[in-house]
């Protein structure tokens, strides 16, 4: 079965949860009945802020409750990252919310020290791969994109469908000044892992006066960008991920079978 996915690329009101949630709900409402998965940017309710003590919420806080309500109301899987507090620690946490209220999550592994993220947040220690209608989706966040080992397929060479996952999602607040890296690395991750890659970035200027160009995209397993260029525009991108294209690519050029075996050891 094919998978219809929508990416919401927009400006984010700095540290204003109420305004952001209202804005995103309006956009999500327009997608009701038209898509299966809706992906929001990194820290979609606040912007990329280090103000954890003011902005962090528990897992039963308002933003998670909002995700549950919106996911159920509009019958979509809702994904994006938020600032979460748990046992006195703070996490940049990717939430994968199902319409039935169940959720999975991933804590950002690679914290962006250049902006001091490592001084405020605790890094994650495991990957999270969601499943929907036969698709396996690896959920990651922004700076993780620069570390190919963390995203690399773990191959089961005894299985005909030897890939670990089929889609790789990055939610981000990726500054415009490093836009070339964003575009290049998303394409590289798709080619080397023979998977679809989804990158969702914001536009506008944040509270630290950093500008964001957007360039959210969907890349197919051959490294081809499926959606038109959308630099600086607030927009909704909807693409259909083809199961037959994915399987044909892997069968016709079975590069994954030649991959090196490896083990990720966390410090």
202 HSE (CA, 13 A, CB side)? 29
- Please indicate whether residue 142 is annotated as part of the active site: yes
In the set 108, 117, 139, 239, the catalytic residue is 108
Query: Which one of 117, 142, 195, 239 is the catalytic residue?
Result: 142
Ramachandran assignment for 116, one of left (phi > 0), alpha (psi -120 to 50 degrees), beta (any other): left
Closest alpha carbon to 112 in 185, 207, 48, 187: 48
Kindly state the greatest CA–CA separation across the chain.
52
Q: Is residue 254 a contact partner of residue 160, using CB atoms and an 8 Å limit?
A: no
Cα(85)–Cα(256) distance, integer angstroms: 38
Annotated catalytic residue 233: no
Tokens 């083809």 map to which residue? Answer: 242
> In 3-state terms, what secondary structure has residue 64?
helix
Catalytic residue among 17, 42, 117, 139: 42
15 is catalytic: no
- Say how far apart CA 233 and CA 108 lie, in whole Å: 26
Give the closest residue to 108 by CA, choosing from 57, 56, 145, 161.
145
SS3 content of the chain, % helix, strand, coil (to 5): 30, 30, 45
Rounded CA gap, 115 and 117, in Å?
6
> How many whole angstroms separate alpha carbon 173 and alpha carbon 169?
13
Give the catalytic positions in this structure.
42, 108, 142
């Amino acid at each position: 079965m094919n998978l219809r996915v929508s990416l919401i690329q927009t400006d984010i009101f700095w540290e204003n949860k109420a305004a952001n949630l209202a804005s995103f709900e309006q956009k999500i409402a327009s997608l009701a009945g038209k898509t299966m998965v809706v992906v929001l940017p990194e820290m979609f309710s606040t912007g990329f802020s280090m103000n954890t003590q003011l902005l962090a919420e528990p897992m039963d806080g308002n933003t998670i409750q909002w995700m549950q309500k919106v996911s159920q109301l509009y019958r979509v899987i809702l994904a994006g990252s938020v600032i979460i507090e748990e046992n006195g620690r703070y996490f940049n946490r990717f939430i994968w919310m199902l319409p039935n209220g169940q959720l999975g999550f991933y804590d950002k592994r690679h914290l962006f020290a250049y902006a001091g993220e490592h001084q405020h947040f605790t890094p994650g220690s495991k990957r999270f791969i969601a499943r929907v209608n036969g698709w396996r989706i690896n959920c990651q966040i922004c700076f993780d994109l620069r570390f190919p080992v963390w995203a690399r397929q773990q191959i089961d060479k005894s299985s005909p469908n030897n890939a670990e996952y089929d889609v790789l999602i990055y939610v981000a607040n990726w500054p415009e000044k490093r836009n070339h890296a964003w575009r290049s690395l998303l394409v590289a991750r798709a080619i080397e892992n023979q998977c679809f890659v989804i990158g969702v970035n914001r536009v506008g200027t944040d509270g630290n006066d950093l500008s964001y160009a957007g360039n959210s995209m969907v890349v197919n397993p051959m490294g081809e960008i499926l959606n038109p260029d959308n630099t600086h525009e607030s927009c909704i991108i909807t693409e259909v991920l083809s199961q037959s294209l994915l399987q044909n690519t892997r069968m016709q050029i079975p590069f994954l079978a030649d991959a090196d075996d490896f083990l990720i050891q966390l410090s």
